[in-house]
Every structure is written in structure tokens, then in C-alpha cells.
Chains A and B, each alone.
Chain A
Amino acid sequence: MYPRQFEYVAATSLDEAVSALAGAEFAKVMSGGMSLIPMMKLRLLSPDVVVDIGRIPGLDQITDAGDYVSIGALVRHAQTASAQNLPRALVDAASWTGDVQVRNRGTTCGAVAHADIAADQPAAILALGATMVARGPNGTREIPADDFFVDTMTSALQPDEILTEIRIPKVGGATAYDKLGRRGGHTDYAVAGAAAWVQKDNGTVTNCRVALTGVGTKPTLAHGVAEALIGTDGSEQAVKEAAERATEGVTVLEDLYGSEEYKAHLAKVYTRRALTQALAQL
């Protein structure tokens, strides 16, 4: 299974990569290649130019920048999965992404840029309120997670932009991610999953963000859940009631792995589990 022919650019700097993207009619960035290459082999995608950013030095670090932790464009899933300074929701989402071989090459930034409807780390990124840093011909801009996921496999990135870094804010509280994998347990893409971030003050939930994956057209914030949980004591009953609102305002879609009804049910179940696990850490 060969992809169509393409021109290969092994960029050695971000500037070189950005200008290679800008100069081509249909170019694609390649980081880990774990989604791009399968799509090219199936000829679902046939770019004229593939700009490989895999050799650009300095992008493979997770660094503490004071207010936030920065994940560089070439940080592999395996690195994120074993990071000591990242929130648990993201660490677990990375460790349940694909298999060992996929985690050795695929990148956290690549998974987020790819924005698959059933991917793990995008949900965590959204729940954590991360900031994406994109570099294009006009320089660098920051995109908040709430604006980043636009539609199915569509992010706010322009075709000539590179996601250079994801910034995870250090906001405290506790986080968790849980999912039902397509191959059972936590294995493979999510049939459905939820990432949660909660904060409590004096026994009261003061902040909450829950993001769903696998159930709709894109990773989506469950606003109803947050609204219902904030102000409560975060008890089992409060979590149960809040989770009932998981799909409020969310377009639930059926796919090969489940009907609309089943997906909506799972969204509630995994919202409850993620919230329960996060609250248990506080």
C-alpha cells in the first residue's frame, strides 16, 4: 500500500517548515505520522508536499514555564504519559492512546492538531483549558482550547500554521480522564470518554470543566455539567445529578461503535466516573 507520490521536506527549523508550507499548493505537516501516514496509505489524503518537522531540534521537551507547563511539538505520547509535572487527566489520556509503538512516535501536539472525534488527549486539553501556540507566515498566535476544536478533524489551525507548543495552565484543583476503548478497557480510540477538572474551596465546588470525546463531531465541553456541579458539595449525589446533563447542547452521533442512545448513556457514565475520580483527589 503506497501513498501517492509527494515531495518530502525534512525541515531543520520552524522557519524553514513554515516557508515550505506557505510555498506549496497542498502541503501537510508531519510530526509522528501516526495518523497522517495511515490516511495517506489509504489515499484519503494525498498532499503534494509533506513537511516533516520531526528533525527540528528543541521541540521535544516538556518544560515548566512558571504559570504553565509547555509541551513541545515533538513530545511523544510516551513522554506525556510518563511526565511528572502534567495533570493526571492528560497523563492518563496519553498513556491510553493507541499502543506502545504508536506512543513511541505519535505526538501530543499531533493528536491535538489532528482533532479526531474519538481521540483521547484533545478531551484532556479542552477540560484543562490549555492554550495552543501556532506559528505561521505572519508570526505566532495563541489559541484557547475553547476555540481550537472547530469540527470533525478540523481545528482552528490554518493550513500554513504549525502547532509549536501546548501550554497547560497550573490552576490547581484535580483532574481525571476515563474512557471506554473500542477494544475494551482503555485500549484504542474512545467509544466515549470524559475528562474532568474540578476545584473546591471550603467544601464547595468552585470550578469545573468536563470535556467529552467520542460522542459528537468534536471534543466538546459539557457546559451543563459544570453549571450543575459548581456550588454543590461535590457529593456522590451531586455528581450523579450533574452527569445527567452531560449531553445537554451536544450533538450526539452514532457510529460503528454505538448508537446515539448508547453514546449518550456512556457520556453520562464516563462524566460521572471522571468527576468522581477527580473529586476523590481533593
Chain B
Amino acid sequence: MKISLTINGREVSADVEPRTLLVHFLREDQGLTGTHIGCETSYCGACTVLVDGKTVKSCTMFAVQADGASITTVEGLADNGQLHPVQEGFWERHGLQCGYCTPGMIMSAVGLLQEKQSPSEDEIRHAIEGNLCRCTGYHNIVRAIEYAAAKMRGEEPPPPDWEEEEVSV
């Protein structure tokens, strides 16, 4: 079936089998391998992308459903080599270890910060309920999102935990 959509601002037309999942279309057809496949059972969120501005698990949507839609993947966030504040937050606040969950986490964070400028820690944790991380224990991911939220409000981000904590031996 013929589909036309916009991916990261670029117009794309393709002929896909109806059963092609959006994530496979993005990775295999479009070469956008930033979007990861973790579980393929709709639980881990590694495949999260924005479809018409809303976060969606791209392993749980057919590419044909995206006909006419506008899609943003992690590749579409940076602006002329300048990292998006959420990407910068993950970098600055050590929001990743292996990095497998990271593109999905970042897209969920972008989705959250579009809707809420100043989310509480609780709201951040609930907003990433659909994204699983096997490495970090989530703590630094939450800090990374707080960093990005501050940056996007034009404020100085809170200092990193490791500068705040008193180290006792």
C-alpha cells in the first residue's frame, strides 16, 4: 500500500505491506536506527516516537496507520548539530548507561515537556512509566528530565546530585 508521511520534517513516500510495523519501516526502510526495538511486545517503550506530536510505541502501530502523519524520531531532535535540551540533559546528568532505552526515554521526555513546563518529580516518574530501563535505576533519568525542563523554561538547571551530596567515608 502506498503511504506518504513526514519524518523529521522530510516528506517521504513508500510502498509498504499493511503488516509492516512503523518501527520496522523507520529502521529498515528509512534507515533511522535511532529508534530501538527492545521487547516488541508493546511494553518497554524503546521504540517511542512522536506521531502528530503525541508519544506512541512505534512497534504497536502499523506504518499504514501513519499515512499522512508527521513523525519525529530521536534523529529529528537536534537542531543543526545543537542537541535538544532533553538530549543535553541526558548527557549532562548521566541519564544513560548502555543507552538502549535512551531514544525512547528521550522521546517520552520530549512528549511530557511539550505538555508540562514544570513537571514534579512524581509527574516525571509517571510520564516514563511506559519506558523500561535495565541499567540506570531511573534516578539520573529523572534528573536529566528536570535539567531539560529548567533549560526549556530558560532557567539555570539544578546542580547535579553528585555535587550536592556530602561524601562521608
Where the two chains meet, the residues of A that have a C-beta atom closer than 8 Å to any C-beta of B are 1-8, 10, 33-34, 37-38, 40-42, 50, 52, 54, 98-102, 104-105, 187
For residue B15, CB closer than 8 A to chain A, the reply is no
Residues of A within 8 A of B70 (CB): none
CA distance A40 to B65 in the complex (A): 15
Residues of A within 8 A of B40 (CB): 1, 41
Write the B55-73 contact mask toward A (1 if CB under 8 angstroms, else 0).
Answer: 1110111101101000000
Write the B151-165 contact mask toward A (1 if CB under 8 angstroms, else 0).
Answer: 000000000000000
CA distance A100 to B56 in the complex (A): 8
Q: In the complex, what residue of chain B is closest to A40 when comparing beta carbons?
A: B19
CA distance A4 to B20 in the complex (A): 10
For residue B17, CB closer than 8 A to chain A, the reply is yes
Residues of B within 8 A of A10 (CB): 64, 67
Residues of B within 8 A of A34 (CB): 42, 60
For residue B32, CB closer than 8 A to chain A, the reply is no
CA distance A37 to B65 in the complex (A): 12
Contact A105 B64 (CB under 8 A): no
Contact B19 A101 (CB under 8 A): no
Q: Is the interface of B mostly helix, strand, loop or mixed?
A: mixed
CA distance A52 to B67 in the complex (A): 12
Rounded to whole Å, the gap between the CB of B159 and the closest CB of chain A is: 28
Contact B65 A100 (CB under 8 A): no
Contact B57 A4 (CB under 8 A): no
Number of A-B contacts (CB under 8 A): 78
Which bracket fits the contact residues of B? 20 to 34
Contact flag A105-B19 (CB < 8 Å), given A99-B130, A100-B108, A100-B111: no
Where the two chains meet, the residues of B that have a C-beta atom closer than 8 Å to any C-beta of A are 1, 17-21, 24, 40-42, 45, 48, 54-57, 59-62, 64-65, 67, 108, 111-112, 126-127, 129-131
Residues of B within 8 A of A50 (CB): 18
From A38, A99, A187, name the one whose CB has the most chain B CB atoms within 10 angstroms.
Answer: A99
CA distance A234 to B57 in the complex (A): 44
A-B contact pairs, 18 of them (CB 8 A): A2-B19, A2-B20, A7-B18, A8-B18, A10-B64, A33-B60, A33-B62, A42-B41, A50-B18, A52-B64, A52-B65, A54-B65, A100-B55, A100-B127, A101-B45, A102-B57, A104-B56, A187-B129
CA distance A50 to B17 in the complex (A): 13
CA distance A37 to B57 in the complex (A): 11
Contact A104 B54 (CB under 8 A): yes
Contact flag A99-B41 (CB < 8 Å), given A10-B64, A33-B65, A104-B56: no
Rounded to whole Å, the gap between the CB of B23 and the closest CB of chain A is: 10
CA distance A54 to B24 in the complex (A): 21
Which 10 A-B residue pairings sit nearest by Cβ, starting from the closest?
Answer: A99-B130, A8-B18, A99-B129, A104-B54, A101-B130, A1-B40, A101-B57, A38-B42, A3-B19, A37-B60
